């Protein structure tokens, strides 16, 4: 590719032409939402999440910001902000990866193989290690309650995700983060 902008355009188009529902924000190509289905044979199977993607100007040399807009119970996803703790996105991103990798490989692997030793959601990590049956029940409860078509397609705030919401940042989330993640209890 001759420039990051051409690569960004190509990657977004590949994602749009795939089986994913992609909804651009403010008619731009740098911010969009993607409907993501829980992987088959996982606790998240049958769930549908809206994933917010923000591409930095330096994409693909700098990783995209990825966050769940509707709630998910997972050790490596912050329950309030939806931020994802995923090394391949946060620390070891490479321009060899593209957006399809994020949705076809990285996020499914995150849901299939949670890492409770590097949590963003300490409660989920603790429950997963101490009481796996109760953890499974809580994951399924969240899927039933927050990960249906209506949850993934409702209008949410266009507030930006914070670049500071990565694995090592476990500061308290603000009310603005609640709006970003689309978390309003019914």
Active site residue 167: no
- 60, 143, 145 from 46: Cα distances, Å: 31, 8, 12
What is the pLDDT at residue 2?
55
Q: Lowest-confidence range among 18-27, 56-65, 145-154?
A: 145-154
* Residues 44 and 38 sit within 8 Å (Cβ to Cβ): yes
User: With bands split at pLDDT 50, 70 and 90, how would you rate the model's confidence at 158?
Assistant: very low
Q: Inform me whether the pLDDT recorded for 169 exceeds 70.
A: no
Residue 66 β-bridge partners: 53
Q: Residue 179 has what pLDDT?
A: 38
The CA angle 107-159-3, to the nearest 5 degrees, is 65
Q: Which of 85, 86, 110, 152 is catalytic?
A: 85
Q: Which domains occur in the chain, in start order?
A: 4-153 (3.10.110.10)
Q: What is the rounded CA–CA span in Å between residue 65 and residue 163?
A: 7
């Amino acid at each position: 590719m001759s420039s990051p902008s051409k690569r960004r355009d190509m990657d977004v188009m590949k994602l749009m032409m795939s089986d994913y529902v992609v909804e651009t924000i403010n008619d731009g190509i740098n911010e969009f939402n993607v409907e993501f289905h829980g992987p088959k044979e996982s606790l998240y199977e049958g769930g549908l999440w809206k994933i917010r993607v923000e591409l930095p100007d330096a994409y693909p040399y700098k990783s995209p910001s990825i966050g769940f807009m509707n709630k998910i119970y997972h050790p490596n996803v912050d329950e309030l902000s939806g931020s994802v703790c995923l090394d391949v996105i946060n620390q070891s991103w490479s321009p060899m990866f593209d957006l399809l990798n994020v949705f076809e490989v990285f996020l499914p692997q995150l849901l299939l193989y949670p890492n409770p030793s590097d949590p963003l959601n300490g409660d989920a990590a603790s429950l997963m290690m101490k009481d796996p049956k109760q953890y499974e029940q809580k994951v399924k409860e969240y899927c039933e309650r927050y990960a249906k078509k209506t949850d993934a397609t409702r209008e949410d705030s266009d507030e930006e995700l914070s670049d500071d919401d990565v694995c090592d940042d476990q500061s308290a989330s603000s009310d603005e983060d609640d709006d970003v993640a689309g978390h309003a209890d019914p």
